[in-house]
Amino acid sequence: MSPQALVCAVLRREFRRTARNQSEAGHPLIFFVLAVMLFPFALGPDTALLSVVAPGVIWVAALLAASFSVEGLFRSDFADGSLELMALSGAPLALVGLAKALAHWLVAGVPVLLLTLPLAVGLGLDPGVLAILMASLALGSGCMSLLGTSISALTVGLRGSGMLVALLILPLYIPLLIFGASATANAALGLSAAAELYFLAGLLVLALTLTPWATATALRIRLS
C-alpha cells in the first residue's frame, strides 16, 4: 500500500469511527464551550476585564479539551487487533501515527477553532487580538494533536489511561500555553506577536519531525 493510500485509509477509518461515536467526539467540545462560558459568570459583567482574560481562558480550555480527546485515539484499534495487523503487514507505524494526528486535528482541533470565533466575540475581543488568537491556536492545536498522539500510543491498553494521558501530556502543553497566551497579550498591548508565533511554528515543525517516530516506537513497545 502506498503512503497516500495508507493515510487515506486511516483518515476514513477515523471519520467513520467519529460518525459512529459522535458523543465521544462531542464531549470535549462541549467541555470547551462550557469552560469558556462559565468565566463571565465568575468575573461579572466587566467587559474590559473579560477581554483581558479571554485569550488565556480560551487557551486553557482548548488545552484541557485536547487532553481529554486524545485518550481514545488508538483504543478501538488496539481492542479489535487492527494495530497488530498494521504492524504485521509492514505498514510504517510512523505514517500511521501522523495520519492519526491529522485525523485528530480535523475532528477535534478544527471544531475548537470554529467555536473560538463566536466565543471570543462574545467575550469582547478586538478583531486584531482575535486574529492573533486564531493564528496561535491553529499552530498550537497542531502541536497538541501530534504530542497527544504519541502519549496516547504510549498508554494504549492500560487501565485508567485517561487520567494518565492527562498527567503526561499537560506538562508538554505548557510551552504552547505560555507562548500562545503571550502572543495574544502582546497583540492586546499593540505590540508585535511575531516572535511568539514563530516559536509556535517552530514547535509545530519540530513536532512534525519527531512525534511520528515517537508514536511508532510507543506502539511497538505496547504491541511487544
The pLDDT tens digits for 66-119 are 888 887 788 777 777 777 777 777 778 888 889 999 999 999 899 999 999 999
Residues of the chain above pLDDT 90, percent: 34
Read off the pTM: 0.89
The reported pLDDT for the residue numbered 1 is: 63
Higher local confidence (pLDDT), 23 or 152: 152
Most confident range, picked from 22-31, 33-42, 204-213, 215-224: 204-213
Domain regions of the chain by residue span: 3-223
| Position 55 confidence tier, pLDDT thresholds 50, 70, 90 | confident
C-alpha cell at 133: 488568537
Of the candidates 120, 124, 3, the residue with the CA atom closest to the CA atom of residue 62: 120
